[in-house]
A and B are shown apart, each in its own frame.
Chain A
């Protein structure tokens, strides 16, 4: 597993020397800055209508404004992982080094989780800002970040799988966008269907997932779902790399 660590370090180093990293981080913070500002204004002006919701709980998945940027930013972060190696041909030196497919995939996946954390770390400042002007439910905030980490584990794994399957970065990004978009839309099915289908959609819903965590409710059903998708997608990525040798 030493080699997974080496691969992860290189992936992060190459990401953080690329202009892509700074374009992504800057636009991410601009987007979320505007979202946070609009939500705060909304709750300041509609104190009665807001009920139990707070700007922070709304920010962490209480609105679709949370998911729309993610559908774009996650594919952009994950498209490089394996597809860039294929595009530049470095996959050949990588896969002929004495390392297993599992270490390569785990190294890349580890790097993507670090990127996810780097994406979210600056948003802690919103919690701090709120604490300066009112009271913050820190329990709910910790649960929100825990939910984000769990959600990120599965988003990044889906992106990794698409990067393992696609021949180049553009296709990897499009496939991840479609996969996450479909999963997102499934969640809306909760308000459309009834009976068993409604239950299924509610279970798959990333929306309900984050609404639950942002209220401070750590629902293990969502954790099980996230972990299952993560393990499945990482496992399939390892399989996809192995299959390449036979292609």
Chain B
């Protein structure tokens, strides 16, 4: 479960995110929708602890993420926008490294499982820098899954993929339903319709719509 309370982030004197609050319940797949520059990436970066908020509170499965960042990050799998990877490493080397960094006990099993789940088993011995964009995206997902975290945060996971890869990727995300809590950002409405249970819409750093909370009212 992700709980965000009046989260704000300022760059200099420009507000990137302003007073945004929302909840993502356990097992839900939620789309974080908004045009480019709306503050999606900034919000996700605050959730994952990459950026510190200017104000507000974040709870990850009840853990105060700002007070206990390492503890909170242990519960997250994160795929940043553009999927940064160590290009000189082989796929399995990279996953082994990340598993060790995240303190996974059975590294080899975890690598096999996440390769399988992300559908990159056939590329396990290839050098990351030589992979196609679609494969690199999946390696990024395998990395997010490596420690089997209860929460996945995916920033624009389908950007730059061809339509076939997009379809495969959406199926993959749908397969996490009920098993993991997923928050994915996108600027494509049809993507939300295709994979998400619910949508949170953000524009110019402000939350403009969150149908679930409106229903509650």
Contact = CB atoms under 8 A, between A and B. Distances in A.
Interface of A: 2-3, 6-7, 9-10, 13-14, 17-18, 88-93, 95-100, 245-246
B134 interface: no
Contact of B85 (A3, A7, A18, A90): A90
B73 A96 contact: yes
B88 A17 contact: yes
Given A10-B97, A245-B50, 7 more contacts: A3-B103, A14-B86, A14-B88, A90-B86, A92-B84, A95-B49, A95-B50
A76 B203 CA distance: 44
Contacts of A3: 101, 103
A88 B84 CA distance: 7
Contact of A14 (B45, B89, B103): B89
22 contacts: A2-B103, A3-B101, A3-B103, A6-B97, A10-B86, A10-B89, A13-B93, A88-B84, A90-B86, A91-B84, A92-B50, A92-B80, A93-B85, A95-B49, A95-B50, A96-B50, A96-B78, A97-B73, A98-B73, A99-B70, A245-B49, A245-B50
Interface residues of B, number: 28
A100 B51 CA distance: 14
A6 B85 contact: no
B159 to A, nearest CB: 14
A6 B101 contact: yes
Nearest to B87: A88
A86 to B, nearest CB: 10
Contact of B52 (A7, A18, A245): A245
Contact of B102 (A17, A18, A92, A98): A98
B100 interface: yes
A88 B129 CA distance: 12
A243 to B, nearest CB: 10
A96 B52 CA distance: 12
A107 B57 CA distance: 31
Nearest to A95: B50
Task: From A2, A6, A13, A93, name the one whose CB has the most chain B CB atoms within 10 angstroms.
Answer: A93
A88 B87 CA distance: 9
A90 B84 contact: yes
Interface string B58-91: 0000000000001101101010101011111100
B143 A93 contact: yes
Contacts of B71: 98
Query: Mostly helix, strand, loop or mixed at chain B's interface?
Result: loop
Given A98-B103, A100-B70, A93 B49 contact: no
A191 B73 CA distance: 55
Contacts of A9: 97
A91 B49 CA distance: 12
Nearest to B77: A96
A7 B76 contact: no
A99 B98 CA distance: 11
A24 to B, nearest CB: 16
Nearest to B144: A93
Contacts of A97: 73, 98, 101-102
B42 interface: no
Q: Which of B74, B87, B101, B102 has the most CB of A within 10 A?
A: B101
B48 interface: yes
Nearest to B80: A92
B105 to A, nearest CB: 12
